[in-house]
Amino acid sequence: MTDDTAGATGDYDAIAQFLQQYIDDHQDFLSWIGTTINGVGPGSMTISIPYDQKLTNVRPAPATDSDQRPDIHGGIAATLIDTAGGLALRTELEQPVDASIATINLNVNYLRPATGDLTATANVVRVGGTVGVSEVTVESTTPDGETREVATGQGSYRVFRQGSD
């Protein structure tokens, strides 16, 4: 992907493709949990992770209702908030590929257990010269098909633009 196809006025499908390829090839943890880029837009990012037993809080048999599906570990929702929030910032940069982004602060509010696929939608609040902030909502689809918010969060990120400290 070249710089002229990216950024605030760029080709968001190309950005999504580039980010998915980057996750698949260079982000072993995100790849292992099944992270997928679903959509990219100006100041926004949607990513998902499919339900997988390996990501759940499995409890001892006596405490578990045999008809109830184990819920996904909260750290997976936090990972989605962190990842989606940081990636969304790139859509607001003139050279999204040439910048580095590091999390400064992450706030996660858990609302209810997640028992199905997770989808995080991030929206950029602001990107300044060196710091950006995103708000993120994570939803989960229940086994009966209902989609509900399971977590919300906000991330603050240090933005290292090419040629800066």
Q: Given a cut of 70, is residue 9 above it in pLDDT?
A: no
pLDDT tens digits, one per residue of 91-135: 999 888 888 999 999 999 999 999 999 999 999 999 999 999 999
Give which of 98, 104, 100, 96 is closest to 133, Cα–Cα: 104
Query: What angle, rounded to 10 degrees, do the helices at 74-90 and 12-26 form?
Result: 130
What predicted TM-score, i.e. pTM, was given to this entire model? 0.87
The residues, ordered by sequence, that sit 6+ positions from 89 with a Cβ below 8 Å of its Cβ are: 101, 124, 127, 132, 134, 157, 159
Average pLDDT, the chain: 89
What's the CATH number for 4-58+71-160?
A: 3.10.129.10
Look at residue 148 in the predicted model and tell me its pLDDT: 96
Q: What is the spatial distance between Cα 6 and Cα 96, in angstroms, rounded to a whole number?
A: 7
Q: Domain residue spans in the chain? A: 4-58+71-160
**pLDDT band at residue 144, thresholds of 50, 70 and 90?**
confident
Give which of 39, 47, 46, 48 is closest to 12, Cα–Cα: 39
